[in-house]
């Protein structure tokens, strides 16, 4: 029983070009660092399968899934990239990448529920937590974590799952999808104000949002998490925990202005793991979201994985 590590070469094929921070090199940086420190051999490496349209329909409007699928497949065929919003570009490799990223999250959920592994990390891209029910935005096309959470509930029959989001940006897409779905508790912490400028007041009763001002550092973030997340998570008793694992709140990351370091990511992961161990048989599926300083990203993912591996 170990930690599964899902990825796929197709996730490199999504290339928004022109020095875009959400770049294929992010996955190379993680991979290189895990090899350098010898952590890769402890992980059970698995190839991410493609998602099915039915998987996506559980979190997104089926009309959106069909329409964005048509657009991405056309771009894959004609080779001409197209901007979906100001920050999000669909390239020829995007279709396969988005289907691998969502497919990884679903497969990881099955592997964990089936007891093949204790927990899993999806080193995939594009990220997902800004994708709403019917809109691609903020580097995201399909909401990988929401797709996986709905799979756990609707297909695998779980009754309560938690979503934990520690990306520096508010997970507006996840919030849009799961607002008032009482089978899900979402807890998040994010810089505010910062893109997408939402989250100060939650959309539903089933979420705990902790907006923090720029330049907040690790000790304050830890105190806020302890104070705001832990009692609701304990009371909710999730049967499984999904993590939107963004590492752009790192102090070296230029997309946000928070001051987390590797030890903070390890601590947050320990707190999540404590809840999972107590209520959810340790079951955690963590999906990569942001993290754009390549060195800080790789070191932070390693800190996160070390805790997951200590199961
Ligand atoms: Zn982010």
Answer yes or no: are the C-beta atoms of 117 and 25 closer than 8 Å.
no
Q: Which residues contact 31 (CB under 8 A, 6 or more apart)?
A: 7, 40, 123
Cis geometry, peptide bond prior to residue 256 (ω within 30 degrees of 0): no
Summarised one tens digit per residue, pLDDT across range 45-97 is 999 999 999 999 999 999 999 999 999 999 999 999 999 999 999 999 999 99
Q: How far is the CA of 286 from the centre of ligand 1 (A)?
A: 15
Token reading at 93 = 């490799």
pLDDT of 311 reads: 66
CA separation, residue 134 to residues 128, 130, 143, 190 (Å): 13, 11, 10, 23
Q: How far is the CA of 85 from the centre of ligand 1 (A)?
A: 16
Strands (E), the chain: 3-7, 44-47, 82-83, 89-90, 119-122, 161-165, 184-191, 207-212, 240-245, 284-288
Token reading at 101 = 């990223």
Element spanning 150, H or E? helix 144-150
User: What is d(CA 275, CA 29) in angstroms, rounded to the nearest whole number?
Assistant: 30
Summarised one tens digit per residue, pLDDT across range 114-162 is 999 999 999 999 999 999 999 999 999 999 999 999 999 999 999 999 9
Q: How far is the CA of 1 from the centre of ligand 1 (A)?
A: 31
The whole-model pTM stands at: 0.98
Q: How far is the CA of 291 from the centre of ligand 1 (A)?
A: 7
12 is catalytic: no
Q: Which residues contact 297 (CB under 8 A, 6 or more apart)?
A: 26, 29, 30, 247, 250, 253, 291
Kindly name the residue from 33, 129, 130, 151 that is annotated as catalytic.
Answer: 130
Q: Which of 125, 136, 137, 155 is nearest to 54 (CA)?
A: 155
Summarised one tens digit per residue, pLDDT across range 270-294 is 999 999 999 999 999 999 999 999 9
Supply φ then ψ for residue 185, to 5 degrees. -110, 125
pLDDT value at 1 more than 90: no
Q: How far is the CA of 292 from the centre of ligand 1 (A)?
A: 9
pLDDT of 18 reads: 87
Q: Which residues contact 133 (CB under 8 A, 6 or more apart)?
A: 59, 60, 61, 64, 176, 177
Residues above pLDDT 90, as percent of the chain: 99
pLDDT of 16 reads: 97
pLDDT of 30 reads: 98
Strand pairing of 119-122 and 284-288?
Answer: parallel
């Amino acid at each position: 029983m170990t930690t599964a590590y899902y990825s796929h070469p197709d996730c490199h094929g999504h290339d928004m070009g022109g020095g875009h921070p959400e770049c294929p090199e992010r996955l190379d940086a993680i991979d290189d660092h895990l090899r350098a420190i010898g952590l890769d051999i402890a992980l059970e490496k698995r190839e991410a399968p493609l998602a099915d349209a039915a998987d996506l329909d559980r979190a997104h409007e089926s009309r959106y899934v069909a329409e964005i699928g048509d657009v991405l497949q056309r771009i894959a065929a004609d080779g001409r990239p197209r901007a979906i919003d100001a920050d999000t570009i669909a390239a020829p490799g995007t279709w396969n990448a988005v289907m691998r990223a969502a497919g990884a999250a679903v497969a990881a959920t099955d592997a964990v529920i089936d007891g093949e592994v204790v927990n899993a990390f999806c080193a995939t891209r594009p990220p997902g937590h800004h994708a709403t029910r019917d809109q691609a935005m903020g580097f995201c096309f399909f909401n990988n974590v929401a797709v996986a959470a709905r799979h756990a509930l609707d297909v695998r029959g779980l009754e309560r799952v938690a979503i934990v989001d520690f990306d520096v940006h508010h997970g507006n897409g996840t919030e849009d999808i799961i607002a008032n779905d009482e089978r899900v508790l979402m807890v998040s912490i994010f810089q505010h104000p910062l893109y997408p400028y939402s989250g100060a007041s939650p959309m539903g009763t089933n979420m705990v949002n902790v907006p923090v001002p720029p330049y907040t550092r690790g000790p304050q973030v830890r105190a806020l998490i302890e104070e705001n997340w832990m009692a609701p998570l304990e009371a909710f008793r999730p049967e499984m925990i999904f993590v939107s694992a963004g590492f752009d709140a790192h102090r070296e990351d230029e997309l946000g202005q928070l001051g987390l370091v590797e030890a903070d990511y390890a601590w947050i992961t320990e707190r999540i793991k404590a809840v999972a161990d107590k209520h959810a048989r340790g079951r955690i599926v963590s999906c990569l979201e942001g993290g754009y300083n390549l060195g800080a990203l790789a070191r932070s993912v390693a800190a996160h994985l070390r805790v997951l591996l200590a199961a």
